[in-house]
Chains A and B, each alone.
Chain A
Amino acid sequence: DQQVKQNSPSLSVQEGRISILNCDYTNSMFDYFLWYKKYPAEGPTFLISISSIKDKNEDGRFTVFLNKSAKHLSLHIVPSQPGDSAVYFCAASGATGGFKTIFGAGTRLFVKA
């Protein structure tokens, strides 16, 4: 039973346009959410995070939105660049999880030049 779901295995976007990656979670005890980015042959790297007390966090071209009532978060990349092509993992953690961060299955983003 996956507590963090990324229902789109892949997404293709034109360079310069907006990329929107979605993530749903089922555990209402999650209070911290993260996005990691993974290039081929490399480990995931932390991208951006958001606490449950906020509904938006922005870092340059990357913005994460959190809708607690819908148990949904999204990552917006504007404008998208070819170098953004990677697998993006959504992750969540909460007080009940202890040290555990729960990861989604990932969404592969293709940004076409």
Chain B
Amino acid sequence: DVKVTQSSRYLVKRTGEKVFLECVQDMDHENMFWYRQDPGLGLRLIYFSYDVKMKEKGDIPEGYSVSREKKERFSLILESASTNQTSMYLCASSFREDTDTQYFGPGTRLTVL
């Protein structure tokens, strides 16, 4: 059974803080993704990675960075959190050949005060 876990279900941070969101998958997937989900906007891709140390910008990368030092782990970093980054953050993974069938973690609801 595929499992994608995210380090926190709920997180509250202050404006200007550096925030780390961690994601781990146990299916040996090559691809990993970070999305944010906002009402009325659906899931928007922030960054994705198709291999260790490789990353590609998604549709809304501004204000975010990522790190993939190991195949199973993909981290999302908010260098200086802002209130407009309050959102639900979803991590996903997939096999290299099937980028569309993605397995999602439960999400982290981040509130920036």
Contact = CB atoms under 8 A, between A and B. Distances in A.
A111 interface: no
Given A99-B31, A99-B56, A100-B58, A44 B100 contact: no
B35 to A, nearest CB: 8
A13 interface: no
A22 interface: no
A43 B106 contact: yes
Contacts of A4: 42
Interface string A84-113: 000001010100001111011110000000
Please name the 3 residue pairs, one residue from A and one from B, whose CB atoms are nearest each other, closest first.
A43-B104, A103-B43, A105-B42
Contacts of B103: 43, 45-46
A19 interface: no
B7 interface: no
A45 B45 CA distance: 16
B42 A89 contact: yes
A34 B100 contact: yes
A103 B102 CA distance: 12
A41 interface: yes
Contacts of A9: 40
Nearest to B40: A105
Contacts of B41: 2, 105
Interface in B41-91: 41-45, 48, 50, 56, 58-59, 90-91
A32 interface: yes
B92 interface: yes
